Amino acid sequence: MISLGLLVIVAAASAADVNNIEQLQAAKNSQLITLRNINVPAGVTLNLDKLKPGTVVEFAGEITFGYKEWEGPLIIVGGKNIKVVGKPGNLINCQGERWWDQKGGNGGKKKPKFFAARLTDSSIDGLNIKNIPAHGFSINSCKNLAISRINLNVAEGHTKGGHNTDGFDVGNSEKISIINSFIHNQDDCLAINSGTDIKFEGNTCIGGHGISIGSVGGRKNNIVQNVRVVRSKVIDSDNGIRIKTVKGATGAVKDITFDDIELKNIAKRGIVIQGNYLNKRPEGDPTGGVPITGLTINNVRGNVLKGGANVYVWVANASNWKWNGIKVAGGQKVMEQKGLPQGCKW
């Protein structure tokens, strides 16, 4: 029995270098998989799903993808106790400009999603990513996943037609952290549709729609609970921090903290909390089926551009909000504040 156990350990401790997609399947038996300078063929997913527990995946050199109009994802990583590591100088170059047509996920060319995470007790660290075709990281049904030092650079999307290039979309997940990352894109930096125990800390968001919870409601899981967004910056973006809930839907947004957030040159709204989303846009009076309770906003500071509003609130059925140290200025658009819980002032 003992010698058999040793044999298994020796076999599992192997390492595999992968330089083309044909080598990937066999490499999945290894404990260390190093992906280096791969050109993934058009319409094929770089499939790292169902990895063995304990696998380390390294991204090295430049990873590129062939062009096809399809849904993707370009990369999927799944398993338990998995470490995804970007080696120094790594670049996942999606060359999204080949798909960009200003329509994002709303039409035009069909654009592959970038990265699907299906991970438990795992980490992703140090990936450099350029020009995703549309949506970035899809974190769905993940549990205990730590994401750090991601550099998602879609700056070229501003002039070349990038749209819906979300940074991190989180749904139905728990214990997720996203820290010390840099996101320059054309949609939400972070969007949480559902999930619990989510931390977003030490990140810089540039060019997009800001840090968002929602829209919440109308999906299978409609609970967002215990989210901490701290020590982060939102620069040259449409919104700073935002919560959106769906009109007529049910669910809950509770125990949310935004603390130590720096805003710079926000075009539309510095802080926006609204409960009347319908068909992806605000419409009429909010309903109270997705109450926002326990909302702490602390030390949010910075400037909104002239045409924008510093703070916008329109919700129903909200309670227990604590706002302190809000110094958002510059926006001249005056918005009515509706549905603010009693005693909430800033």
Instruction: Compute CA distances 126 → 118, 122, 171, 180, 195, whole Å.
Output: 18, 14, 22, 10, 24
Kindly tell me which of 101 and 285 has the beta carbon lying closer to ligand NAG: 285
Residue ranges that bind ligand NAG, judged by CB under 6 A: 288-289, 291, 317
Q: State yes or no: is 209 an active-site residue.
A: yes
E strand segments, 126-206? 128-130, 137-140, 143-148, 151-153, 168-171, 173-179, 182-184, 188-192, 195-201, 204-206
Nearest CA to 29 among 7, 5, 58, 52? Answer: 52
Q: Which residue is nearest to ligand NAG (CB)?
A: 288
E strand segments, 217-285? 223-235, 239-246, 252-266, 269-278, 281-282
Q: Give the alpha-carbon dihedral of 220, 225, 229, 234, to 10 degrees.
A: 40
Residue keyed to tokens 């215990």: 226
**Min. distance of Cβ 257 from ligand NAG in angstroms?**
19
3-class SS of residue 235: strand
Kindly tell me which of 107 and 343 has the beta carbon lying closer to ligand NAG: 343
Instruction: Give yes or no for a contact between 191 and 218, defined as CB atoms under 8 angstroms apart.
Output: no
**Min. distance of Cβ 291 from ligand NAG in angstroms?**
4
Kindly tell me which of 288 and 341 has the beta carbon lying closer to ligand NAG: 288
Residue 194 CB contacts under 8 Å (≥ 6 apart), including other chains: 170, 171, 172, 173, 216, 219, 221, 222, 223, 224, 251
Kindly tell me which of 195 and 289 has the beta carbon lying closer to ligand NAG: 289
Instruction: Give yes or no for a contact between 46 and 73, defined as CB atoms under 8 angstroms apart.
Output: no
**Min. distance of Cβ 253 from ligand NAG in angstroms?**
10
Active-site choice (135, 163, 184, 209): 209
**Min. distance of Cβ 250 from ligand NAG in angstroms?**
8
Residues designated catalytic: 209
